Structure 1
Amino acid sequence: MRYLEIAVQEGKRRAVLDILESEGIEYVVSDETSGRGYAAVVRFPVPTQAVEPLLDRLKRAGIGEEASVVVINAETVISEGFATLRERYSRGGQTESRTSRQVLRTKADELTPPFAIYTVMLLISAVVATAGLLADSPAVVIGAMVIAPLLGPALAANIGIVTGDDRLKRTGFTYQIAGVAMVVVASIVLAMLARLAGLEPAGVDIVAATELEERVAPNLFSLAVALGAGIAGILSLTRGFSEAIVGVMIAAALIPPSAAVGITVAWGMSGAAIGAGVLVIVNLLSINLAALATLWIAGYRPQGLFEVSPTRTPTYTYAAIFGIGLLVLTAPLAGVTLLDFHTTELRSAAEDEVETVLAEPQYDGLESDEVAVELDGDYPIQSVDRVVVTVSGRNPGTEPGLADRLYAEIRPHSSESLVVEVQYVVAEESGGDAEREETSRSTSTVLGKSYTVR
């Protein structure tokens, strides 16, 4: 329920009261004596569903922006007339309501902070996200998402598009682009400082950190996160759900990938930087497309029948831009997704073949410790480099025929050139007790017909 207070300009009092009476709205009117051009102040409660059509009707009657309108949440209204009015606006008995277009614009403005505060909060978020990725700390990365004020700009741009509010649209897109750019630049600076200080995680390979690796080789599942964030963001505004949680979801789609771009640029890894950059752009497009489509489907339009057509064209134009951009950029994501499926299948098949081979009598005493499929590290679209089989046993030395045997069994499961590497972990009992410890490691590698013992 909402409680409206309208300061009516001179000459419009009768028109306002006629509309309220025709709608069956119970109102209170008082004379305005401030001398500011208003004739009266009208106060009345209405169901939430009635706010938007009522304000639209008042505008068509000439009660425009010159009038002062205040919309307030109302906890309870005790009135038989109001119960009848609420039933009429319940649309078939449903009491669910959406936020009016006028209130939606106000909320979008409220969720978009002043640019100076926006900049400071994003820079803090960038520092925290970069530190979390370098330290491979999910908790720290989540903290960066919580403090990033990205919900307002993401939604303001699309609310501006469908309602014909150019100022809101311009502000939303400017904040989004500038925000992502700030996070990338700040991450580059912090990552370069970390590199100069010798704080390289995992020694040499920067993307060995799990939190970073999943952002430089994105797959199609990343689309689901961004699309869901855009839809949930609009629903949180139009249906009154918690915006804070949705804001974290949008930040999750933008802040860590943007920080990953900065880190990989600082480390000079162009392929990984491209992968993370593609993820950032895909997420931006997905969030905006989902938000735009949700708003349009929900029926948000500019005021007045004659304004729908001019707004429909730019809405379709933006939707086409977002959609075509996504189609182009989903090609590498699809490649990564197919690679993930192939890697999983190859690992499963290799594990089965290893177990079968080691069950043969000549390999008695050898056990499979691990089967891993390693990629070539050529980001963003990698390929299978080798299958590493780690076996353990009590006897020192290598089994000369094992690598060839495993290669012959595993090779048919891959359509690409494949290296099969066998690593031996040789263990023995120490000091007469039952404790086992690793004493040496040797490797056999098979590629095609060649055979090497290291």
Structure 2
Amino acid sequence: MLHLRALCPPERTPEVLAYLRAHSGTAHLVVHHGAALVPEGDLVEADVAREAAGEIVDSLCALHLDRTGGITLENLDTAVSDAADAAEEAAPGEGADAMVWQELLGRTGEESRWTVTFQAFLTIACLLAAVGVITDSPVTVVGAMVVGPEFGPLAAIAVGLVLRRWDLVRQALVALAVGFPVAMVLTGVAVLLGKVTGAVDPADIVNNHEVDFVYQVGEASFIVALLAGAAGMLAMTSAKSAALVGVFISVTTVPAAGYAMVAAVAGRWDRAGYSVLQLFVNLIGIVLAAAIVLILRRRKQRSGALLRPLSRG
């Protein structure tokens, strides 16, 4: 279940209440007349089945509440109520499979921005990858995969392409175009300092075969990227967000960026080039698969909307 809060101009409140009262996916409808101060108006609250949330928000936006008032959604971990059970039962499909476009836009929009925190995580991940490459430690490389924050912008690009939200695409591209080069340069500087001081020897990568998969590009690289992108988008558009950890471990984006800088400092430009290619293959594969998943889910959602009743009758 999701908790819906809508700020309504008083003249819109009767329409909103009538719609929510009639919709089979709503429960616990409450109205607070005059409770909203900025903007002024009424506060309407309801618990809604996740399967019906997207449709309900779209209908409220059609009443211009997104402009004249406000609409918010919050996840409810527990709802002990026969009315809530009835709403979930009446709503078509399963809550774990339900897709709320507004929630997805909000999440990807937030995670796709270039920020100091995003850059810090990406840089740390690249540094971890470099350490894993130099020490021939697959475990450290996997740790770098988990720390890397790059899936957020990649998912945002897919969402922006499908919904034609070019502002979202631009925002995500900036995060990647700035984030990866900065992280790679800082990693290269760190590796170079380690070489100068004798702390590490980047040339060791010649004999470190446990992490060769990072720069070895092939059909399997693209296939894994496609599967990871599909799984990641399924996780983001459903209630299975825990699966994202597995997605992070599957893709060779951050490790490839880290390997490229270690190889460059070691003078192995062939491996550096293959690592950069590996990075781009994974980025493209993830975005492509994520976009395909969104298109398929969107078509399924639209076809389902044509077949189901929208109200209690």
Letter in 2 for 1:258: A
Q: What TM-score do you get using the length of structure 1 for normalisation?
A: 0.59
Letter in 1 for 2:81: I
Map 1:53-68 → 2, pairs under 5 A = 53-68=55-70
Q: Which residue pairs with 2:214 in the alignment?
A: 215
Deviation at 1:258, TM superposition (A): 0.9
Q: Which residue pairs with 1:254 in the alignment?
A: 253
Map 1:310-321 → 2, pairs under 5 A = none
Q: Which residue pairs with 2:12 in the alignment?
A: 12
Q: CA RMSD in A?
A: 2.6
Deviation at 1:14, TM superposition (A): 1.9
Q: 1:195 to 1:212 in 2, by over 3 A?
A: farther
Between the aligned partners of 1:33 and 1:132, the Cα distance in structure 2 is: 56
What do the CA deviations read for 1:304-345 (whole angstroms, capped 9, x no partner)?
Answer: xxxxxxxxxxxxxxxxxxxxxxxxxxxxxxxxxxxxxxxxxx
Task: Decide whether the 8 Å contact of 2:121 with 2:149 is kept in 1.
Answer: yes
Ranges in structure 2 where 5+ consecutive residues have no aligned partner? 303-313
Q: Which residue pairs with 2:146 in the alignment?
A: 146
What do the CA deviations read for 1:251-276 (whole angstroms, capped 9, x no partner)?
Answer: x4211111121122222323222211
Map 1:270-419 → 2, pairs under 5 A = 270-299=269-298
Q: Which residue pairs with 1:377 in the alignment?
A: none
Deviation at 1:99, TM superposition (A): 3.3
What do the CA deviations read for 1:368-387 (whole angstroms, capped 9, x no partner)?
Answer: xxxxxxxxxxxxxxxxxxxx
% of aligned pairs identical? 23
What do the CA deviations read for 1:119-142 (whole angstroms, capped 9, x no partner)?
Answer: 122222222211210111122222
Between the aligned partners of 2:37 and 2:148, the Cα distance in structure 1 is: 45
How many residues are matched? 296
Q: 1:266 to 1:59 in 2, by over 3 A?
A: same
Map 1:84-233 → 2, pairs under 5 A = 84-91=86-93, 94=94, 96-112=96-112, 115-197=115-197, 199-200=200-201, 206-233=205-232
Q: Which runs of 4+ in 1 moved over 6 A?
A: none
Ranges in structure 1 where 5+ consecutive residues have no aligned partner? 304-454
Deviates more, 1:211-220 or 1:291-300: 211-220
Between the aligned partners of 2:152 and 2:299, the Cα distance in structure 1 is: 17
Deviation at 1:214, TM superposition (A): 2.7
Q: 1:29 to 1:218 in 2, by over 3 A?
A: same
Give the strand-richer structure, 1 or 2.
1
Q: 1:37 to 1:140 in 2, by over 3 A?
A: closer
Between the aligned partners of 1:22 and 1:288, the Cα distance in structure 2 is: 39
Deviation at 1:67, TM superposition (A): 2.0
Between the aligned partners of 1:189 and 1:37, the Cα distance in structure 2 is: 51
Secondary structure of 1:36's aligned partner? coil
Deviation at 1:42, TM superposition (A): 1.0
* 1:45 and 2:83 matched: no
Task: Decide whether the 8 Å contact of 1:183 with 1:255 is kept in 2.
Answer: no
Task: Decide whether the 8 Å contact of 2:97 with 2:239 is kept in 1.
Answer: no
Deviation at 1:50, TM superposition (A): 0.5
Between the aligned partners of 1:207 and 1:290, the Cα distance in structure 2 is: 34
Query: 1:30 pairs with 32, 35, 48, which one?
Result: 32
Query: 1:79 pairs with 79, 82, 98, which one?
Result: 82
Letter in 2 for 1:54: I
Between the aligned partners of 1:292 and 1:47, the Cα distance in structure 2 is: 26
Q: Which residue pairs with 1:398 in the alignment?
A: none
Task: Decide whether the 8 Å contact of 1:10 with 1:37 is kept in 2.
Answer: no
Q: 1:300 to 1:182 in 2, by over 3 A?
A: farther
Deviation at 1:53, TM superposition (A): 0.6
Task: Decide whether the 8 Å contact of 1:28 with 1:44 is kept in 2.
Answer: yes
Deviates more, 1:123-132 or 1:15-24: 15-24
Between the aligned partners of 1:182 and 1:211, the Cα distance in structure 2 is: 27
Secondary structure of 1:65's aligned partner? helix
Between the aligned partners of 1:255 and 1:196, the Cα distance in structure 2 is: 24
Between the aligned partners of 1:254 and 1:132, the Cα distance in structure 2 is: 14
Q: Which residue pairs with 1:326 in the alignment?
A: none
Between the aligned partners of 1:99 and 1:29, the Cα distance in structure 2 is: 27
Deviation at 1:177, TM superposition (A): 2.5
Q: What TM-score do you get using the length of structure 2 for normalisation?
A: 0.84
Deviation at 1:282, TM superposition (A): 0.5
What do the CA deviations read for 1:398-454 (whole angstroms, capped 9, x no partner)?
Answer: xxxxxxxxxxxxxxxxxxxxxxxxxxxxxxxxxxxxxxxxxxxxxxxxxxxxxxxxx
Task: Decide whether the 8 Å contact of 1:180 with 1:254 is kept in 2.
Answer: no
Task: Decide whether the 8 Å contact of 1:212 with 1:260 is kept in 2.
Answer: no
Secondary structure of 1:289's aligned partner? helix
What do the CA deviations read for 1:11-60 (whole angstroms, capped 9, x no partner)?
Answer: 21122122123324442112124543432111111110110011112222
Give the helix-richer structure, 1 or 2.
2
Between the aligned partners of 1:95 and 1:183, the Cα distance in structure 2 is: 39
Which of the two has higher C-alpha Rg? 1
Task: Decide whether the 8 Å contact of 2:235 with 2:244 is kept in 1.
Answer: no
Query: Which of structures 1 and 2 has the larger relative contact order (alpha carbons within 8 angstroms, sep 6+)?
Result: 2
What do the CA deviations read for 1:280-303 (whole angstroms, capped 9, x no partner)?
Answer: 1101100111111111111189x9
Between the aligned partners of 2:175 and 2:40, the Cα distance in structure 1 is: 37
Task: Decide whether the 8 Å contact of 2:226 with 2:285 is kept in 1.
Answer: yes
What do the CA deviations read for 1:98-136 (whole angstroms, capped 9, x no partner)?
Answer: 231111122224444761111122222222211210111
